[in-house]
Amino acid sequence: MVEVLQIETPTLGDRSYLVHDGETALVIDPQRDIDRVLALAAEAGVRVTHVAETHVHNDYVTGGFALARAAHASYLVNADDPVSFDRTPVSDDDLVEIGGGMRVRVLATPGHTYSHLAYVVEAGGGVAGVFTGGSLLYGSTGRTDLLGPAAAKALSHAQWASAHRLARELPDTAPIFPTHGFGSFCAAGQSQAAVSSTIGREKQFNPALTLDEQAYVESLLAGLDAWPAYYAHMAPANLAGPADIDLSPPRPANAAELRRRIEAGEWVVDLRDRVAFAAGYVPGTFSFPLDGSFATYIGWMIPWGMPLTLLGDSPEQVAVAQRELARIGIDRPAAAATGRPEAWAGERGVAALRLATFGDLATAFADGGGHRPVVLDVRRRLEWEEGHIAGAVHVPLHELADRLDELADGPAEQPVRPDRPPGRPNEPPGRRDEPPGRRAEASPGEVWVHCGAGYRSMVAASILAARGRRVVSVNDDFANAAAAGLPLEPA
């Protein structure tokens, strides 16, 4: 009897798997914090003998290298992947005996990457499951542009062929277990909100299996949007064999140190929920609440290598954030502080930021006396194209720091430290240029910022506030904009 245990990482939209027969276990696509895997194996009373990678991951640092070493397990990695460590190389159609009556058949499924593999677990004369990684997802497939736009078209055709190979060679009853597709930016388009699926179900609903090849490729390419900037650092780390994770608590910082770090242009990040941040925050800090896709957006926006200090309600909150960050290779926060913003701010005091709804924005439009508020939409391109507030400025969140001049409209208020602004996304470590838009004039009035539900708008609002802008963060679902009477385009 084979049992498949899922290991969820919802903030990155990924799953890992522990597959066992009661004695021996295979782990597929483990994340970097392998203590979760080892605890699960111990609870099940099984020994991890094999660890397998479906591909060189782009959205997180793998735990496969460390887990295989800790468990003295065979590490199955595609023979074509140019890794710099010893592993058990596997190729298309290889058979690997796991133990007892369980074995794995390796299938080449290029598309998400050139060397992508799927693992078919066979037991008792049948298929216990196929682990499809970033290839065949629930109602979707993996994106095909992570190796660059020049490769995207060829990989899209390969993705279609790989999906059809799985559908052709496996029974309809075979359960599928993807790694991505639960909110991960590695998915192409929108995956179904399913908890399980089979090859037969995917034949009915997955565009890769219901559309002809050309229609699928065109649809996939048209649906690709921006992917997080930190992805560029993941494959090199995974090919090198990632260093062991260190989750010991960061060094505590007092108010004077926090102020020094802010004035030095470092990132000081407030983990509290956006309502708490709006009620009182340390000027110059950024709001990245821990209740959303925290690590994804930090990794997307922070200059890689920038010192990062965490502010949280409690040491437990900081510890959760630290684990999330380590999964994408942001190790060892420079410092941390816990408690209340009044203690963090010291004598300089705290600031407040206004939260609003789309109904409030509609009122501001009606009461403006002919002056329209500046509305900033920080959603991604595809979201904007589906519908947006007429007259809004569109700057996706991940581009905000480089496009502040597009909000110019009058004299700017004084930033926290105009000569040393917080580092902007995608700068090399240590860069301290004049911030984008510094010489452009900014509105003396309020900028109303919105996204799809409120998380990204608060991140953007905190960045604008740190640049000296007066800002209102719309803490509301975009679906309420039309009901509030705001004019939308397309109508």
Confidence tier at 419 by pLDDT (50, 70, 90)? very low
Bridge-based pairing of strands 102-108 and 95-99 is: antiparallel
Helix (H, G, I), strand (E, B) or coil at 441: coil
pLDDT digits (tens, 9 = 90+) for 73-89: 999 999 999 999 999 99
Confidence tier at 393 by pLDDT (50, 70, 90)? very high
pLDDT of residue 100: 75
- Report the candidate in 217, 201, 177, 239 with the shortest Cα–Cα distance to residue 5: 177
- Report the candidate in 283, 300, 468, 454 with the shortest Cα–Cα distance to residue 378: 454
Confidence tier at 399 by pLDDT (50, 70, 90)? very high
Cα R_g (the chain), whole angstroms = 24
User: H/E element holding 213?
Assistant: helix 213-222
| Percent of residues, the chain, with pLDDT higher than 90 | 81
Confidence tier at 189 by pLDDT (50, 70, 90)? low
| Residue 261 DSSP code | H
- Report the candidate in 238, 485, 469 with the shortest Cα–Cα distance to residue 360: 485
* Residues 179-190, mean pLDDT to the nearest whole number: 83
Contact partners, residue 43, CB within 8 Å, separation at least 6: none
Residue 411 predicted with pLDDT over 90:
no
Task: Tell me which amino acid residue 202 is.
Answer: E
CB 286 within 8 A of CB 269: yes
Question: Which of 203-217, 327-341, 477-491 is least confident?
Answer: 477-491
* Residues 348-360, mean pLDDT to the nearest whole number: 95
Helix (H, G, I), strand (E, B) or coil at 392: coil
Residue 39 predicted with pLDDT over 70:
yes
Out of 339-343, 410-414, 424-428, the most confident range is 339-343
| Percent of residues, the chain, with pLDDT higher than 70 | 91
* Residues 355-381, mean pLDDT to the nearest whole number: 89
The 3 state secondary structure assigned to 315-339 is HHHHHHHHHHHHCCCCCCCCEEEEC
φ/ψ of residue 313, rounded to 5: -60, -35
* Residues 158-177, mean pLDDT to the nearest whole number: 98
* Residues 259-273, mean pLDDT to the nearest whole number: 97
More confident residue, 125 or 54: 54
Confidence tier at 454 by pLDDT (50, 70, 90)? very high
Confidence tier at 386 by pLDDT (50, 70, 90)? very high
Confidence tier at 50 by pLDDT (50, 70, 90)? very high
Q: Which two tokens stand for residue 261?
A: 């770090």
Please count the other Cβ atoms lying within 10 Å of the Cβ belonging to residue 152.
Answer: 17
Confidence tier at 315 by pLDDT (50, 70, 90)? very high
Residue 407 predicted with pLDDT over 90:
no
User: H/E element holding 27?
Assistant: strand 24-28
Residue 455 predicted with pLDDT over 70:
yes
Q: Which two tokens stand for residue 124?
A: 């008792």
Bridge-based pairing of strands 374-377 and 393-394 is: parallel
Residue 162 predicted with pLDDT over 60:
yes
* Residues 455-460, mean pLDDT to the nearest whole number: 97
Q: Which domains does the chain have, with CATH numbers?
A: 3-240 (3.60.15.10), 255-348 (3.40.250.10), 354-489 (3.40.250.10)
- Report the candidate in 181, 201, 200 with the shortest Cα–Cα distance to residue 191: 181
Question: Which of 190-204, 331-345, 427-441, 449-463 is least confident?
Answer: 427-441
More confident residue, 415 or 139: 139
User: H/E element holding 216?
Assistant: helix 213-222
Residue 491 predicted with pLDDT over 90:
no
Give the pTM. 0.89
φ/ψ of residue 36, rounded to 5: -65, -40
CB 378 within 8 A of CB 297: no
Question: Which of 2-16, 113-127, 269-283, 419-433 is least confident?
Answer: 419-433
